[in-house]
A and B are shown apart, each in its own frame.
Chain A
């Protein structure tokens, strides 16, 4: 990065954050601090919901997924539109009618205080953990590639986002997200255009898709019934539906975004905006990765995309083995480039036989180059067992730094940081709100005034920010970052969703039954995750299903033991805050 890139980066990030702080300063009413002024329009809500979910991990790591495994990851989002429809029809009217500040407040209205606290605690654990990953994920990649110190990157970005979230609350989050998502879209679109322009002149866009498809990168939909496969249409539709229902319907960082709407109409349209654009947006980002794969058929990529880690050990005890892997990779790449070129030339001549033969040769060469990459990873691991071996998260940033012009590099790095700040601010805002509304004001200081609560919320938001920074400074991850984030969510979300679905649809179940059912179901998910090798998306279904089943059984036992043990039904709308 040069001076121009740094001007773009610092000017944009600090400018947006300062504007957000200035516009939303001096709020003293808790509801305004938690939800904003209640005048947010649907497009802002839609963009805020999108920005909250699309973290820096989405933009850094997803193209790497597309490069390495193809666009099949898009199936993960197939359940999202259906979930958003259900939330708009069922969840949202109830939340708005009861004027809840947090989603968990509804659980007290429907069940009792202990169930509300359990819901809030499950959210705080899961999201508090996730907040650390949100800040760590882009920092590890960007600091490695750009040569910045990891701790300085984490602390600087963490403090910036904490500052404007504490100062301006939900209104600042919504306001900054709108501008930040604009920067992100501009950056991703610019990267796409430059990428397409840098493909060989003789190669049409259709040819590029043919290469990506022929080398198994465009298998967007997989109808396999094998439960061990991570991404199929079934895991996406069913597991993804439950994950999205839990995330959009019960995660306070999302609920808070759409409850800030001026009316039910604005909130609903904001959700419908996401239902329409979620799948194409994710596909576009994955397609970008698949096209980077095509680009690297004609330009030799590094054998290992985390070139910093590679260089650190290239002159160590495994140097000879690493050089051999590099040489094998270079030879396989040269062979593949020749075969891919022949394949497309044969297609242009309408010579189907030659095209099929060249494609088969390209696939063989591709397998050889992948084998060389695997050997490179093993060599790196032998040189340093603690060295990271997953380089998918480095694919997109490597392409940007090597092939994009200055200024655009700054814009893209700004986009990554903007995405990190987007989701991070929403998480901190929600953690602070839930800690204040569900725990502090409901259990610790029940007679606290609004002004005291706003002060407490600011302190708690700052505390969560510092905890997330501390977590990010100490964490190391092995999985691809976008997958890790989804795995953590899937472990907790199923049970959280179960609490809400039982509340909505199983009217005879009381607080004691659902409380113990949720604890039992969460324990079951922990055990199954440790022993079952199934797609993590299914844990959303298992957690939710177990919670509902256990609740029904426990309620039956409670009723069987005597009518006096059944909890008194709540008066409708009598929500204790």
Chain B
């Protein structure tokens, strides 16, 4: 057994592309992936901001 030799194994396969449906998000407002990522980033900042506010308000 040679753990460094990839060519030993006979069963290789080609990478298959994802289908076209993966280009869109299927969401009503956030139609593109950058919009989804931006939304998640904004929500993340809002949570942090709220937690800082809780820390300050109730310290």
Contact = CB atoms under 8 A, between A and B. Distances in A.
Interface of A: 71, 74, 78, 81-82, 84-85, 88-89, 93, 96-99, 108, 112-114, 117, 209-210, 212-214, 216, 218-222, 233, 263-265, 268-269, 272, 275-276, 279-280, 283, 442-443, 446, 511-512, 567, 570, 572-577
Contacts of A210: 58
Given A97-B16, A573-B15, 19 more contacts: A78-B48, A89-B37, A96-B18, A112-B3, A113-B5, A113-B6, A114-B3, A114-B4, A212-B58, A213-B58, A218-B55, A221-B52, A222-B55, A275-B44, A283-B47, A442-B9, A572-B15, A574-B6, A575-B15
Interface in B3-37: 3-9, 11-19, 21-22, 24-27, 33, 36-37
Interface of B: 1-9, 11-19, 21-22, 24-27, 33, 36-37, 40-41, 43-44, 47-48, 51-52, 54-55, 57-59
A84 B24 CA distance: 19
A265 B25 contact: yes
Among A114, A268, A567, A576, find the residue whose CB has the most chain B CB atoms closer than 10 A. A576
A275 B12 CA distance: 35
A454 B41 CA distance: 41
A572 B15 CA distance: 8
A97 B18 contact: yes
Residue from the set A210, A216, A219, A221 with the largest chain B CB neighbour count within 10 Å:
A221
B58 A108 contact: no
Majority secondary structure, A binding face: helix
B42 to A, nearest CB: 10
B44 A112 contact: no
8 contacts: A96-B18, A97-B18, A112-B4, A209-B54, A221-B55, A269-B25, A279-B44, A573-B14
A423 to B, nearest CB: 24
B40 A81 contact: yes
B40 A275 contact: yes
Shortest 6 CB-CB distances between A and B: which pairs?
A: A213-B58, A573-B15, A114-B3, A576-B9, A220-B51, A264-B22
A390 B32 CA distance: 49
Contacts of A443: 1
B43 A263 contact: no
A81 B44 contact: yes
Contacts of B41: 81, 85
